[in-house]
Chain A
Amino acid sequence: MASPKRIGKIEFGLLSPKDIRKMSVRKIIWADTYDDDGFPYPQGLMDLHLGVIDPGLRCKTCGNRASDCPGHFGHIELAKPVIHVGYTRLIRKLLRVACRECGRLLLSQDEIHKVLGPEDERNEDVISEKDIKKERVCPYCGEQQLKINFEKPTTFSEVMTDENGRKIDHKLTPADIRARLEKIPDEDLQLLGINPEVARPEWTCLTVLPVPPVTMRPSIILENGQRSEDDLTHKLVDIIRINQRFKENQDAGAPQLIIEDLWELLQYHVTTYLDNEVAGCPPARHRSGRPLKTISQRLKGKDGRFRGSLSGKRVNFSARTVISPDPNLSIGQVGIPLAVANEMSVPIRVTPFNIEEIRQMVLTGPERHTVNSPCGANYAIRPDGRRVRLSDMTRENIAEMLEPGWAVDRQLRKDDIVLFNRQPSLHRMSIMAHRVVLMDGKTFRLNPAVCPPYNADFDGDEMNLHVPQTEEARAEAFMLASVAENIMSPRFGGPIIGGIHDHISGIFILTHQVRWFDKKGVLYLLRSSTPEHLPKPGKVEEGVEYWTNKQVFSMILPENLNMLYKASSCINCEKCKMENCERDAYVKIIGGELTCGVIDKESIGAFKGKILQRIIRQSGLERGRQFVDDVTKLSIRGIMFDGFSFGIDDEDLSKIEYGQIDEVLSEAEDDVERRIRIYEEGQLEPMPGRTLEETLEMQIMQVLGKARDRTGDIAGRHLGLSNSAVVMAVSGARGSMLNLTQMAGCIGQQAVRGERITRGYEGRTLPHFKKGDRGAQAHGFVRNSYKSGLTPTEFFFHAIGGREGLVDTAVRTSQSGYLQRRMINALQDLKVGYDGTVRTSGGRIIQFRYGEDSTDPAKSSMGDPVDVVGIVESIIVEEV
């Protein structure tokens, strides 16, 4: 069995007044805490029997000092019972199902049989509130039951009918309620699923209140020497004060009205002491106006005891700082600032083989001034386990004493294995093992190609780093979690790591059509990639050797690669022109030679990466990693060869295009006017299943949408591959032709929930328009482009449309985040056994075969266990 011990059952019960008195070491009667000398009052809230927090004092219960005393409970005797807010729903249920007179369950034995079945075959089923009809007559004593009303937070009342047939609410005091709950017999409670041994219902009405130990609510001493008490202590002070006054008034025989007021006040204080965020109850506040953090607030929520303190752990050997990009690093590396590397350490044992090396580290000590200096050590650990901080004073001495049996905390150095993480850690690629590179500066550096798995960018993102401390941990981190091991995503069986943004633009520019480079150019491009020898030149002219761009790219491909596919820039012509494609979108790689086609997102992009995927399937993850490193470096050099930038004048069109765009938009607006006239004259034919208005709206949206697209076409005709935005859109690096349309052509219709904007003033969207105007301009059509600039009304409509998008994303992220949390909580302990079954930690079977086909999706080809097309393609060298 997986777990060594099995939990038989967990019992939930209530603390009885008897239990509370039994565990109490002191009855607390004074609301005061400390006297003028700063000494705790006996029987006050800080009584020395409850434990000690001041150093020097001894606990009067256990005799220990502050460091060893666990703290002890006290108790307060309440003048009258009060309701525990946490149990109001249980109380309401019990008042409704039990007789108000005799306390029996309001079901006859026959009825119980009907609901639960015969006595000998009953299971865990219990009687619920729904099984009992409201306001019936007690089958045992014949008492007519009354309706029980419950008002938040703690008020219960019975609806009575007076002589005149009027209904009046009769309030039940906590004492009344307690008396009723007391009358419910044990056997009846069992039928309701309550074990009376551990949870008598009357215990939900408190007569004694436990006082938590002072260790749970320590007071702090402010800078000015004043004591500041914990919120819980403040609340307990309130409770004791009111309780005291209540008792005095009771003993003096005060009028009923005053007693009731005090009772309610006591109830309020006990309620807010337990939970200061109950509905229908103003929260108790500090003098400053801040709501008090009472018991339930300590437990609840993200920063509460459960999620914040118990499930959430803080660790040593971790670092966090801002990240920034460094394309010269391998994807498997991470750049670490010296300040971090000097602080973080790895323990190493002294052996006869490394003693000299370690002695040198100890002599170097904790200070390392440059990235290239040898690494030092921060601590020495003696054979008896004691740690000695290395300093200028101690290090020479310790270096002398060093011998096998000692260990030393060595500083981080190049090629150490560390775990790198970015929150939210939504999938396993959010934590990967990298190898350390020491760097100047104060940020973590990573290759931009590993951004997709972390979902990182460099607009201020921070990441965490953890240093494994044992050989086993390092081995495990490297073999299971290294970047190379995680290129293939288990989410879709393809590479999640690959080129992004400039990598794609760069490789596109480099490999588009055919270009010739001389030796200098080729060497410039391939300088930081692995290939070491140039192939035979593609041509020699006047004694000068030239290579094609495709030859340059082919150098980083493995020799046995055969692939045929269409690039991202393919527009899916009806009849593919194959090698003669004028967009160069037909990619053909034979024997590791790119013979035609352009390399873009489809080939090397993250989430796509056809070539990368094939390389990994043929030659393994390590070769895949090398390809990513090569291709990102080559593409960055490719983009630097020509330069790549975008400016405001890249959105300029010529006079002719502006004229055409104007014409198209005017035509569309006229068309809209015409359709509106037809509608107003009652000539419009409604579409099936639509009203006249809906038909008109749809037509208008369609006309305007088409017009916008046409402006895009016009702009696109002018802007060719000489335009950087077009290059990015076509290659799939970033942006789309729609973005370009909106920059240069026309922004188009703004929509809210897929419809034209109609909200705003009565009969119109803004006071600038006539009531009832259905025209394009009056309902959010933005005729201008981002370049030409928006009119004030257009700008306003654009803001309305933009806001919807922002709200949508905000709502979606919070919803999907919670969904993810629930799913992970449900699935986290499942594992695949050696027999292929998926089981819970208790050995219960979830799936008889993992995924029904026992295929690891990370080792699959887009979900399929075998990449049939790839195998056939690579053998017959023809598109399948």
Chain B
Amino acid sequence: MSTKFSVIGHMMVPDHQIMSVEEVDDLLTSYKITRDQLPKVYHDDPSVKEIGAKINDVIRIVRNSQTAGRAEAYRQVVKRPKK
């Protein structure tokens, strides 16, 4: 018997969203980068699991920033290596 706890609902967890293919393309061209230059997030990260992102998806994370008020970050989902 286990109760499932939703991390997304917690006030300390920022907003996570899966980006569409077009959005990802825009992102990559605007920063002139390839996918492997994006920051990463593990596939078994609790928030990633909860929004149902798959490996190679790109996630937009919108945080409350101490300095800027609102800050966006993007991370590519990768498989967590063993150990």
Contact = CB atoms under 8 A, between A and B. Distances in A.
A228 interface: no
Interface in A246-284: none
B68 A837 contact: no
B46 interface: no
Nearest to B38: A845
A124 B83 contact: no
A846 B36 CA distance: 12
Contacts of A847: 73
Contacts of B65: 852-853
Contacts of A476: none
Interface in A825-880: 835, 837, 839, 842-849, 851-853, 855, 863
B26 to A, nearest CB: 14
Contact of B68 (A123, A128, A849, A863): A849
A853 B67 contact: yes
A853 B38 CA distance: 19
A685 interface: no
B68 A835 contact: no
B22 interface: no
A143 interface: no
A182 to B, nearest CB: 28
Contacts of B79: 123
A125 interface: yes
B9 interface: no
Interface string B46-83: 00000000000000000001111001111000010111
B67 A845 contact: no
A768 to B, nearest CB: 56
Contacts of A124: 81
A843 B67 CA distance: 24
Nearest to A865: B67
Contact of A125 (B37, B38, B67, B82): B82
A233 to B, nearest CB: 42
Contacts of A849: 68, 71
B33 interface: yes
Contacts of A863: 67
B11 to A, nearest CB: 19
A100 B82 CA distance: 27
A845 B31 contact: yes
Dominant secondary structure of chain A at its interface with chain B:
loop
A296 to B, nearest CB: 26
B27 to A, nearest CB: 9
B80 to A, nearest CB: 10
B64 to A, nearest CB: 10
A835 B32 CA distance: 10
Contact of B67 (A837, A839, A851): A851
B31 A852 contact: no
Categorize the interface residue count of chain A.
Answer: 20 to 34
A853 B65 CA distance: 9
Contact of A848 (B32, B36, B73): B73
Nearest to B73: A848
Dominant secondary structure of chain B at its interface with chain A:
loop
B39 A845 contact: yes
A852 B68 CA distance: 6
A831 B69 CA distance: 23
Contacts of B66: 852
B31 A837 contact: yes
A674 B38 CA distance: 69
Contacts of B68: 849, 851-853
B83 A835 contact: no
Contacts of A844: 36-39
B71 to A, nearest CB: 4
Contacts of B38: 844-845
A845 B83 contact: no
A350 to B, nearest CB: 47
A125 B81 contact: yes
A124 B32 CA distance: 28
B71 A843 contact: no
Nearest to B74: A848
Nearest to A857: B67
A128 B37 contact: no
B39 to A, nearest CB: 6
A842 B65 CA distance: 27
B31 A128 contact: no
Contacts of A842: 37
Interface in A621-673: none
Contacts of B36: 844
Interface string B26-46: 000001110011110000000
Nearest to B70: A852
A837 B37 CA distance: 12
B72 to A, nearest CB: 7
Contact of B39 (A125, A128, A846, A852): A846
Contacts of B32: 835
Contact of A852 (B37, B67, B81, B82): B67
A843 B33 contact: yes
Given A128-B82, A845-B38, A852 B33 contact: no
Nearest to A846: B39
A108 to B, nearest CB: 20
Contacts of A835: 31-32
A189 B71 CA distance: 47
Contacts of A123: 79, 81
A614 to B, nearest CB: 22
B81 A843 contact: no
Contacts of A843: 33, 37
A842 B39 CA distance: 13
Interface in A86-133: 123-126, 128
Contacts of B81: 123-125
A208 B1 CA distance: 62
A117 to B, nearest CB: 10
Contacts of B71: 848-849, 852
Nearest to B34: A843
Contacts of B83: 128
A544 B31 CA distance: 72
Contacts of B74: 848
B74 to A, nearest CB: 7
The CB with the most chain B CB atoms within 10 A, among A124, A126, A842, A852, is that of: A852
A845 B33 CA distance: 9
Contacts of B72: 848
A846 to B, nearest CB: 7
A494 to B, nearest CB: 16
Given A842-B37, A843-B37, 15 more contacts: A123-B79, A124-B81, A125-B82, A128-B82, A839-B37, A843-B33, A844-B36, A844-B37, A845-B31, A845-B38, A846-B39, A849-B71, A851-B67, A852-B66, A853-B67
18 contacts: A123-B79, A128-B82, A128-B83, A835-B32, A839-B37, A843-B33, A844-B36, A844-B37, A844-B38, A845-B33, A846-B39, A847-B73, A848-B73, A851-B67, A852-B71, A853-B67, A853-B68, A855-B67
Interface of A: 123-126, 128, 835, 837, 839, 842-849, 851-853, 855, 863
